[in-house]
A and B are shown apart, each in its own frame.
Chain A
Amino acid sequence: MGMTGEEWGIVLLSLQVSLAAMAGALPLAFVLAWVLARLQFPGKILLDGLVHLPLVLPPVVIGWLLLIAFAPEGPGGRLLALLGVSVLFRWTGAAIAAAVMALPLMVRAIRLSLEAVDPRLEAAARTLGAGPWQTFWTITLPLAAPGVLAGAVLGFARSLGEFGATITFVSNIPDETRTLPLAIYAALQLPGGDGAVWRLALMAVALSLAALVASEALTRASGSGRGGHVL
């Protein structure tokens, strides 16, 4: 029951899409987590809700919204047209869909780790001569780092499993947008595709489990795991 070359290609494409989604979403997730953890402002509940929307909205709705946004006449599409790129029906579009779906989980994990950083330590750093940015780089970020890493790994795992928004936004194109879940779905439609489904599904289980275990281990290492699990 060995994997065929085509199936390895699917796994590699999935890893590529998920890594890109994680790397792209991480800075935004960090900023959102910091804002939600540290600032008080009117409309915070609304922002919190918006960030969490992909967690509860039907993924097909997210895919449809992305399709509108990144259509040639949409705001995202026009912006990308200026740069001379399009994400429609490309693997980069699959990465965008995965990033949007992974964002809430990443924000939650990072927010927990930022909330676990003792502000009294930051105050101590200020009295020792560190400005706000130096304090952030030398105290806040190192103390939150395991949680940030856990959030990134969790986002990666969520991206690996992304299906609904992806197939709606960028369709199911072999070698371009056909990631593991989409390939499994396609194989299920074919008579005699059972073997491929088994192999791909086992691969999906192995990759996702490894990422989840890594994320949980990192959360425990950071000490923020006691306060609450992300999932």
Chain B
Amino acid sequence: MSFDVDVTVRRGERAIVCRFASAGGITALVGPSGAGKSSVLEALAGLLRPEAGRIAVGGTVLFDSLARVNLPPEARACGVMFQDLRLFPHRRVLGNLLYGQRLAPPERRFLSLEEVADFLDIAPLLGRRPRTLSGGEAQRVAIGRALLSGPRFLLMDEPLTALDDARREAIIAVIERIRDELALPILLVSHDRADVARLADTVVELRP
């Protein structure tokens, strides 16, 4: 069992109820915009406190309102690729990549900088400033930064939007390799049915 989620998240007036369990691989969270996909992702990352419920990933309880468990984001070991990427503007690509790696305990690091740079084909970018990167480059750096932090699972918010077809294929290939070679549970937020049908092992639909 990788994701085991049953939460109520409040966003303003609305209560978003989300309930799913998946056996591993890629879980897709789909639904129209405004359904609360990003809010659920933030709840899993520990950035948004659910009103009630329970979140467990890979057997580790991250949140449980009854047992009063609420791990802070830094204790959850979740790699997040945000939709807006959020690369640190005051650090070069290398500084961004190493940020999480330096903070991760050695036993959680499963990839080296060289392996990630090779895996994502970002070695030539290491000395660049984030603002000088193209959309596809920045996206690969964001994935690399998340992987180097030694995550136990990955959350990806719309990783395939705003990319041309060639870039999409490249990122899809990367996601499939993370699933197959690294065996990390992945939760993918997407509104694109075709992508979901192609990638996801489990599909969770969120209704507005």
Contact = CB atoms under 8 A, between A and B. Distances in A.
A121 B145 CA distance: 13
Contacts, number: 58
Contact of A138 (B80, B99, B145): B99
Contact of A126 (B74, B89, B150): B74
A127 B79 contact: yes
A143 interface: yes
Nearest to A134: B103
Which interface class (under 10, 10 to 19, 20 to 34, 35 or more) fits A? 10 to 19
A134 B99 CA distance: 11
Given A131-B74, A139-B88, A126 B46 contact: yes
Contacts of B186: none
A122 to B, nearest CB: 9
Contact of A127 (B73, B84, B89): B73
B193 to A, nearest CB: 28
A126 B84 CA distance: 16
B32 interface: no
A123 B90 contact: no
A125 interface: yes
B86 interface: yes
Nearest to B102: A129
A25 B48 CA distance: 36
Most B C-beta atoms less than 10 A away, residue of A118, A126, A128, A142: A128
Interface in A116-148: 118, 120-121, 123-131, 134, 138-139, 142-143
A130 B74 contact: yes
A121 B86 contact: yes
Contacts of A128: 74, 99-100, 103, 145-146, 149
Interface string A81-119: 000000000000000000000000000000000000010
A140 to B, nearest CB: 11
Nearest to B73: A126
Nearest to B104: A129
A121 B88 contact: yes
Contacts of B127: none
Contacts of B73: 123, 126-127
Contact of B86 (A124, A134, A138, A142): A124
A120 B149 contact: no
A33 to B, nearest CB: 19
B74 A124 contact: no
Given A127-B79, A129-B149, A120 B86 contact: yes
Given A127-B79, A129-B104, 10 more contacts: A118-B86, A120-B86, A123-B47, A123-B73, A124-B80, A125-B99, A126-B47, A127-B73, A129-B77, A130-B103
Interface of B: 45-47, 72-74, 76-80, 82, 84, 86, 88-90, 99-100, 103-104, 145-146, 149-150
14 contacts: A120-B82, A121-B86, A123-B47, A126-B47, A126-B72, A126-B74, A127-B45, A127-B149, A128-B99, A128-B100, A128-B103, A129-B149, A129-B150, A130-B74
